[in-house]
Amino acid sequence: MKPVPPPSKIGNPVIFAPPVAVGEAPKRKGRIVDEVWTDVFPDREWGWYIYTSQLIEWTDGTQSIRMTYYYQPEGGNRWLFGGQYSLEDTPEIIHGLIHQTIAKNWKSKQAGQTGRGDGDKPSN
């Protein structure tokens, strides 16, 4: 059965630790101030996925966009954060990458094979 999407993350704190290679650098702290979500998508082998873009406002007043996902194994009862594989940068960089990606007009060679994505638009 298709799981209920996770609750809104607006207002939740965000803390980014520096990469190990950077060494002793300060953590970045902020809050999620806006978000969009896709529908919940099945993956025939791994369970359920939902994707989100989140606008983060950092304590220094700057903003960035994080694109990430949550997953729920088949038969599971909670969503797990997949943020270790997220994309995060300034709105300008994220917008540029998205526009360049759309301009490529890539299409799936095997539409519907994954059961995820397949052109669905994010919901608010």
Does residue 98 belong to any structural domain of this protein? yes
Does residue 97 belong to any structural domain of this protein? yes
Q: If you average pLDDT over every residue of the chain, what do you get?
A: 88
Does residue 4 belong to any structural domain of this protein? no
Q: Contact 83/71 with Cβ under 8 angstroms?
A: no
- pLDDT of amino acid 9: 97
Q: Contact 34/17 with Cβ under 8 angstroms?
A: no
Instruction: Tally Cβ neighbours within 10 Å of residue 59.
Output: 9
Does residue 20 belong to any structural domain of this protein? yes
Does residue 123 belong to any structural domain of this protein? no
Q: Which of 52, 33, 124, 42 is CA-nearest to residue 76?
A: 42
85-103: per-residue pLDDT in tens?
A: 789 999 999 999 999 999 9
Decide if pLDDT at 122 tops 80: no
Split into its structural domains, the chain has a count of 1
Does residue 7 belong to any structural domain of this protein? no
Read off the pLDDT of each residue in 113-119 and give the average, rounded to a whole number. Answer: 47
Decide if pLDDT at 83 tops 90: no
Domain range spanning residue 84?
13-104
- pLDDT of amino acid 23: 86
Does residue 124 belong to any structural domain of this protein? no
- pLDDT of amino acid 71: 95
- pLDDT of amino acid 49: 96
Instruction: Report d(CA 87, CA 95) in Å as an integer.
Output: 12
Q: Which of 31, 84, 78, 73 is CA-nearest to residue 54?
A: 31
Does residue 79 belong to any structural domain of this protein? yes
Q: Which long-range contacts (CB under 8 A, 24 or more apart) does 73-82 make?
A: 73/46, 73/47, 73/48, 74/46, 74/47, 74/48, 75/47, 76/3, 76/47, 76/48, 79/3, 79/6, 79/50, 82/49
- pLDDT of amino acid 93: 94
49-82: per-residue pLDDT in tens?
A: 999 999 999 999 999 999 999 999 999 999 999 8
